[in-house]
């Protein structure tokens, strides 16, 4: 008995429907993907143009050769790349790992960051940061960085013009300023502070752990408190007012002008290069004293 020959199975109908336009737009009726210009996808509900590639992603919009892995709801343009990120908007070759809700432009890069806005090649792995012009942040939160600024794990810092901060909080840094773990400092023009709090520094000023100091024009203070320093003045004291390169050690409440010098004096008023280590002295024009309550003018010595 001859064996029965199985009837050939009918070929399944194509699930790809293309328009007659040039270039054609094709839709996969099984997955809902819309692809143009040689794009490749294995995902669901993706819209791909210009050779874009997606793996198992869902609801992604990719243009200009962009690539996504298993991401969801991403919008990628100009060769941008994303891994498993969700809801990211990437433009101009930007790259993201597993980030969520990031907006990246101009080649910006983010790791696992969330809610970051990055422009101009900025790099972050943090949360809620706004970065522009190549700025870099680690795991910082809510930082605003512009012009190549760098921050570690700082919180709420505002950095501009290449400024650098470590784990500081609420600092405002401009023009290459640097701060360690300081809090609430305002730094401009390359100023530097360590762990100080509430300091206002301008023009390359430097402070250590001082509190509430106002420094301008390259002034320097150690652990002083409430000092006002201008024009390269140096102090480690409390409540001193120093101008024009004046120097004081651990003095309290001294007013020094024009390069005057005081050691551990208290309440002294010195002008024009005067020198004292005393208490309550008023010295003008290069006068020198180590006394108490002296009033000296024109180079006098006591």
- The pLDDT of residue 294 is above 80: no
Q: Which pLDDT tens digit goes with each residue over 254-280?
A: 667 777 777 777 666 777 777 787 766
Contact 277, 264 (CB under 8 A): yes
Percent of the chain exceeding pLDDT 70 equals: 78
- Residue, of 246 and 295, whose pLDDT is higher: 246
Distance in angstroms (rounded) separating the CA atoms of residues 41 and 57: 8
Distance in angstroms (rounded) separating the CA atoms of residues 228 and 210: 12
Q: Which range among 86-95, 160-169, 291-300 shows the weakest confidence by mean pLDDT?
A: 291-300
Highest mean pLDDT among 74-88, 162-176, 191-205, 209-223: 74-88
Q: Which pLDDT tens digit goes with each residue over 7-27?
A: 555 544 547 788 877 777 888
Average pLDDT over residues 224-230: 68
Q: What is the CA 121 to chain-centroid distance, rounded?
A: 13
Note the residue count of the chain: 302
Distance in angstroms (rounded) separating the CA atoms of residues 183 and 160: 17
How far apart, in Å, are the Cα atoms of 104 and each of 58, 124, 133, 158? 19, 10, 12, 19
- The pLDDT of residue 244 is above 80: no
Question: Is the backbone peptide bond immediately before 230 cis, with ω within 30 degrees of 0?
Answer: no
Q: Which structure tokens are listed for 128? A: 């809620």
Which among 95, 114, 97 is positioned nearest to 105, based on CA atoms?
A: 95
Percent of the chain exceeding pLDDT 90 equals: 0
Confidence of residue 1 (pLDDT cuts 50, 70, 90): very low
Q: Which range among 67-81, 180-194, 223-237 shows the weakest confidence by mean pLDDT?
A: 223-237
Q: What is the CA 60 to chain-centroid distance, rounded?
A: 30
């Amino acid at each position: 008995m001859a064996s029965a020959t199985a009837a050939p199975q009918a070929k399944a109908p194509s699930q790809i429907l293309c328009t007659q336009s040039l270039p054609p737009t094709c839709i996969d009726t099984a997955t809902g993907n819309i692809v143009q210009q040689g794009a490749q996808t294995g995902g669901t509900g993706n819209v791909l143009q210009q050779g874009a590639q997606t793996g198992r992603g869902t609801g992604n919009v990719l243009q200009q050769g962009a690539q996504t892995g298993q991401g969801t709801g991403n919008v990628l343009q100009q060769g941008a790349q994303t891994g498993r990120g969700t809801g990211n908007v990437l433009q101009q070759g930007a790259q993201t790992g597993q980030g969520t809700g990031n907006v990246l432009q101009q080649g910006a890069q983010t790791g696992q960051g969330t809610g970051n806005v990055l422009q101009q090649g900025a790099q972050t792995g943090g949360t809620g940061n706004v970065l522009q012009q190549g700025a870099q942040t680690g795991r910082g939160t809510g930082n605003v960085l512009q012009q190549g600024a760098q921050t570690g794990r700082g919180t709420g810092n505002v950095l501009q013009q290449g400024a650098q901060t470590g784990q500081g909080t609420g600092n405002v840094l401009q023009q290459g300023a640097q701060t360690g773990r300081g809090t609430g400092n305002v730094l401009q023009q390359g100023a530097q502070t360590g762990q100080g709090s509430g300091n206002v520094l301008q023009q390359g000023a430097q402070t250590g752990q001082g509190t509430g100091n106002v420094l301008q024009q390259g002034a320097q203070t150690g652990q002083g408190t409430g000092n006002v320093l201008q024009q390269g003045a140096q102090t480690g004291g409390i409540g001193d007012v120093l101008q024009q390169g004046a120097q004081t050690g651990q003095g309290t409440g001294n007013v020094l002008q024009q390069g005057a010098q005081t050691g551990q004096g208290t309440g002294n008023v010195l002008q024009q290069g005067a020198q004292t280590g005393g208490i309550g002295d008023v010295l003008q024009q290069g006068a020198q004293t180590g006394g108490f309550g002296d009033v000296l003018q024109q180079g006098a010595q006591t």
